[in-house]
Structure 1
C-alpha cells in the first residue's frame, strides 16, 4: 500500500522530511478495524512527533492522528462496525498513523462519520473534538445537560481560533455557557465570533485588564507557561483550569491554593495509550458529535484542503500548522 513516512527527523523544509513509500497492507485481528483512509488532518501533535532529533527509523514511520475512511475489514472480536461503514477517528499515538492507504485502529476509539459531511470535512474533527469534549465535560466537569444552570457560568478559552478552540467554542455554547475566547488578529477574532464566542480578548495583552470579571472555567490551548499567572488571577475561587499544552518551566500550584482552584491536564491519547477500562467513551462521544452535526448544532472546522495524500502535500500541511497562524484545520484528502 502507498504511505507517507519518515526515516529521519528533519526540518520540514528538508527534501527527505517525508517520503513516499510502499508498505505491506496490514490485517485486522481482535477489535481492530482495517480502514481505507480517504482523508487525513494535520495537528500540532504531528509536527511535534516529526520535530528534528537524532533518532533514525529502520523502517519508515507513518505519522498522522486524524482520519476518515471506509471500513475494509474487521477483526474477529469486533462488534460495533461492519465492512463498508464510513468512520472517523484519531487513532493511537503508539501505533502506525493515518498517512497511509490503510490503517489499523481499535474500534473502541472510532465513531460513525457524520452523514452530512464529506470525508475531508469529517477528518478535520476527531482529535480536536475528543480533546475539546474531554477537556470541557470530563476534566472541567461541565455538565452539558445542565444548560440553564450553565448560562450563569463563564468560560475563557485561551487560543480560540485553532483546531481545538474552534470546536470547544461550539461545544461550550451548545452546553449553554458564556464564552470568552482569545484571538490576536482581525481574521481570528471574526472566526471565533462566527463560531459563537460572546466576547474576544487578545492573548498578547493582559488578560486581567481585558476581562471585567473572574471566570468559572479556563481552557488553556496555548502556552501554559505564559498564561499561568494570569489564569491564577482571573479564575474564580473553586474554579477549574484545564490545559493541553505542556509546561517548560515548573508550575507554581501554590498560587491556586487560597482559591481551592483545580488544575487538570487533558491528553486525548490517554485512553488508547493505556487501554483504559473506559476507552469506549471516545467512540460514544464521536457518535454523539455526529448526531450534533447532523442536527445542525455543530459545524466542521475545516478551512484548508490539499490533494492528494503524498509527501509533498503532507509537508505543505505541516508547514501551515508550524506557522502558528492556522485558523481552523487543514486536511489532505485522496491518494
Structure 2
C-alpha cells in the first residue's frame, strides 16, 4: 500500500436527493480502506446503471457522504487483504461491489473478493465493466424458474419467455442469455419499432411494439394467453396488463420483476401467483460463469457500448435516466 497515492480522482455526490448536475469531480478524494477479504483495484472503466441514478436520488445503500457513485468496474488488482485467496496483484478483474455502495466512478475500487471475477483474455476492460449488474440480474431472474434454478446451460430448452424491455442493459442481457445460454425455444420481447432489429439480432423471435398504443398491445398480449413459462419485467410500466393470463397454467411458470414499487407485487400477475421481486445478489462465481460463456461464444461483440470520460459522469447518468440509450454506458477512468 505504501507505493499507492494518497488521493485519487473520483465522481462524488455530497448528499442524497440530488440531480445528475450535482455530481462533482474531486481530484483529492481519499483512497478506500482495504479489509482482510477485499481486493484493491486500479480501475480502468466503470459501468453506469439505472441503479446508480437511484442511489444518487434516494441514498440507497449509502452510509455517509460525500460518497463515490457506481457499482460496476474492471481493472487491475494492486493490493489484497490478508485473507484473500482467489486473486493476486496484477490480476485483471471485474466485479460489482453492491453489499453497500463503495463506489466505482473512481481511480481505485475496493471490493470483496466474493463479488469479483477474473477477466478472460478475450474480454476487454470495456466489455467487462459493462457486464456485472446487467448480466447477473438477468441470470438470477432465470434461476427463479424450477427448470433453470441450477444455472445449467440449456435448462430452458423447450420453454417460452417474455421479456418486457428488451433493448435496455438488463433486457439485452436477458435475451442473450435466454437464447444462447439457457436455450429457450421462443423469446418474445416488448420494445419499440426503432429497436426491433437490434433485439432480433440479439435473439428475440417476436417483438411487440409498445409505441403502437394500448389497443395494439392488449390485442397482441391477449393472443399470447397461456403461452409463457417465464415473464421477466425489466421496465415496470405494464401493470395495466397484469390481468392478462400470459403464463402457462402449471405449477412452474413464473413472473419476475426487478422494478420495486412501494406497494410491491401481490395477487395474480399475468395469471400466476408465483410473482416475485428480484433483489439481485453480487455473486463473483456466477459472474465468472457468465464471463467464460461470453468469451467462448463471442457474444460480447453484440453488446453496444457507449464510452464517456469520468468528467462526463453527469452526462452519463442523464443518458441512463432517459431510457433511450440502447446498450451499455461506461466511464473511462483516467
TM over 0.5: yes
After TM superposition, give the deviation of residue 256 of structure 1 in Å.
5.5
TM-score w.r.t. the length of structure 1 is 0.85
Cα distance in 1, alignment partners of residues 158 and 134 from structure 2: 26
1:195 corresponds to: 202
Does structure 2 retain, via aligned residues, the 8 Å contact 1:36–1:71? yes
CA distance in 2, matches of 1:181, 1:189: 9
Give the equivalent residue in structure 1 for 2:316.
Answer: 317
The two structures have a TM-score, normalised by structure 2, of: 0.85
Alignment correspondent of 1:229: 242
Distance in 1 between the 2:102 and 2:272 partners?
Answer: 42
Distance 2:163 2:55 in 1: 25
Figure out how many residues of one structure are paired with residues of the other and give that number. Answer: 312
Residues 1-335 of structure 1 correspond to what in structure 2 (within 5 A)?
Answer: 1-8=8-15, 9-12=17-20, 14=21, 16-51=22-57, 59-136=65-142, 138-143=143-148, 145=152, 147=154, 150-173=156-179, 174-177=181-184, 178-186=186-194, 188-203=195-210, 205-206=217-218, 207-209=220-222, 211=224, 214-223=227-236, 226=239, 229-230=242-243, 233-237=245-249, 238=251, 239-249=253-263, 251-253=265-267, 255=268, 261-269=273-281, 282-296=283-297, 298-299=299-300, 302-310=303-311, 313-335=312-334
Tell me, which stretches of 5 or more residues in structure 2 are unaligned? 1-7
- In 1, the alpha carbon distance for the partners of 2:147 and 2:71 equals 26
Of the structure 1 ranges 200-209 and 25-34, higher mean CA displacement relative to structure 2 is found in 200-209
SS of the residue aligned with 2:245? helix
Return the alpha-carbon distance in structure 2 between the equivalents of residues 329 and 266 of structure 1: 21
Corresponding residue for residue 278 of structure 1: none
- Separation in 1, partners of 2:114, 2:36: 12
Whole-Å separation in 2 of the counterparts to 1:64 and 1:301: 24
Shift of 1:10: 2.3
Using the alignment, how far apart are the partners of 1:227 and 1:37 within structure 2? 43
Q: CA deviation at 1:297?
A: 5.5
Deviation of 1:129 after TM superposition, in Å, equals 0.9
Q: CA distance change for structure 1 residues 21 and 228 in 2, over 3 Å: closer, same or farther? A: farther
Q: Is contact 1:241–1:263 with CA below 8 Å preserved after alignment?
A: yes
Aligned partners of 1:89, 1:263: CA distance in 2, in Å? 29
The Cα shift of 1:96 comes to 1.7
Identify unmatched segments of 5+ residues in structure 1: 273-281
